[in-house]
């Protein structure tokens, strides 16, 4: 565990996974408990390696991991309840089309719409 300058808590995690199928770069740290909940239990994912990869992807794009995980879990819930459908968004490619649109504003002067885009 590492820590921020002059912080006695030393809670920063460094995660490295050398699995060629799903490597995780330690430069992006490791997920904190909110990220574990957002991408883990909220999304029904119990694979720690997948959650670490989601954490890395969000941090590399400048996206807040909690907001991203909760937005994804909200979309999953909408799909399960028939609010979102494959007929409207297509099968396997929908996440690939949607993520860049939300990530393009990350770190700029206006926030990405995230779950707010569902608010009408």
Indicate whether 89 pLDDT > 80.
no
Residue 15 in any domain: the answer is no
pLDDT, tens digit, 9 for 90 and up, residues 71-82: 999 989 988 888
Q: What is the CATH number of the domain that holds 45?
A: 1.10.569.10
Residue 17 in any domain: the answer is no
Residue 4 in any domain: the answer is no
Residue 66 in any domain: the answer is yes
Residue 3 in any domain: the answer is no
Residue 61 in any domain: the answer is yes
- Burial group, residue 21, by CB count within 10 angstroms (0-12, 13-18, 19+): exposed
pLDDT, tens digit, 9 for 90 and up, residues 20-69: 988 999 888 889 889 999 999 999 999 999 999 999 999 998 899 999 99
Computed from CA positions of residues 86, 90, 96, 100, in that sequence, does the dihedral angle turn out positive or negative?
A: negative
9 or 92, higher pLDDT: 9
Residue 34 in any domain: the answer is yes
Residue 35 in any domain: the answer is yes
DSSP code string of the chain: -B--TT-SS--B----B--TTS-B-GGG----HHHHIIIIITTT---HHHHHHHHHHHHHHT--HHHHHHHHHHHHHHHHTTSS-HHHH-STTHHHHHHHHHHTTTTSSS---GGGGG--
Residue 92: give the domain boundaries. Answer: 26-109
Domain count, the chain: 1
Confidence of residue 86 (pLDDT cuts 50, 70, 90): confident
CB 51 within 8 A of CB 21: no
């Amino acid at each position: 565990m590492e820590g921020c300058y002059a912080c006695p808590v030393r809670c920063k995690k460094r995660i490295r996974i050398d699995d060629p199928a799903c490597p995780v770069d330690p430069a992006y740290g490791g997920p904190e408990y909110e990220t574990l909940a957002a991408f883990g239990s909220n999304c029904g994912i119990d694979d720690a390696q997948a959650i670490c990869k989601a954490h890395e992807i969000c941090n590399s794009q400048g996206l807040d991991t909690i907001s991203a995980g909760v937005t994804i879990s909200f979309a999953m819930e909408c799909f399960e309840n028939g609010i979102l459908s494959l007929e409207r968004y297509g099968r396997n490619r929908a996440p690939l089309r949607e993520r860049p649109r939300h990530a393009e504003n990350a770190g700029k002067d206006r926030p990405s719409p995230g779950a707010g885009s569902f608010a009408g």
